[in-house]
Amino acid sequence: MTHSAAGLIDRITTLSGDTFNAAVIEGAGPIAMEFTSYGCGYCRAVEPLLQQVAETIEGNEQIFRVNIDADPELSEAFEVQGMPTIIMFLEGRAVGRVEGRDSTVSNVMAVVTQPFNITTESP
């Protein structure tokens, strides 16, 4: 867990091409991977929702992000077309995905947890 430039707790770890495989493909448990661009308005709008979801599901699932501008090969490898894209992984395999902006915490929670059947209370 790190702190953002605004001093807020960042519960989503940013990965690079060098750290992606170890964290996601070889990672344990359910993982949600956000493919984002820091210049994308929709991505910035979804970020606080993802932070709330990350706090709620902490311990059940991990959420990571990758900046597609810095690591375009990852977005190409997973055929990411729209921003933001969240791909859910289990045992190194993609098991679900959603593209585009989703406007409520409960919708983002459903997207992130549904492929794993994780039960949480909606904030």
Give which of 98, 41, 35 is closest to 66, Cα–Cα: 35
The CATH number covering residue 49 comes to 3.40.30.10
Query: How high is the pLDDT of residue 119?
Result: 47
List, for residues 45-64, the tens digit of each pLDDT value.
888 888 988 888 887 889 99
Q: Does residue 102 lie in a domain region?
A: yes
Q: What is the mean pLDDT of residues 112-118?
A: 66
Whether the predicted pLDDT of 28 surpasses 70: yes
C-alpha 90/C-alpha 80 separation (Å) is 18
Q: Does residue 46 lie in a domain region?
A: yes
**Active-site residue identified among 24, 43, 88, 109:** 43
Q: Does residue 121 lie in a domain region?
A: no
Whether the predicted pLDDT of 83 surpasses 70: yes
Q: Does residue 3 lie in a domain region?
A: no
Given the DSSP bridges, would you call strands 62-67 and 31-36 parallel, antiparallel or unpaired?
A: parallel
Q: Does residue 123 lie in a domain region?
A: no
Q: What is the overall mean pLDDT for the chain?
A: 82
Active site residue 16: no
**Active-site residue identified among 40, 90, 94, 118:** 40
Given the DSSP bridges, would you call strands 2-3 and 9-10 parallel, antiparallel or unpaired?
A: antiparallel
Whether the predicted pLDDT of 5 surpasses 50: no
Whether the predicted pLDDT of 31 surpasses 80: yes
Residues in contact with 53: Cβ distance below 8 Å, sequence separation at least 6, in sequence order: 63, 105, 108, 109, 112
Task: Decide if 34 contacts 86 (C-beta within 8 A).
Answer: yes
Provide the residue range defining the domain that includes 24: 8-116
Give which of 55, 67, 53 is closest to 102, Cα–Cα: 53
Q: Does residue 24 lie in a domain region?
A: yes
Q: Does residue 49 lie in a domain region?
A: yes
Q: How many domains does the chain have?
A: 1
Query: How high is the pLDDT of residue 123?
Result: 43
Active site residue 8: no
Q: Does residue 20 lie in a domain region?
A: yes
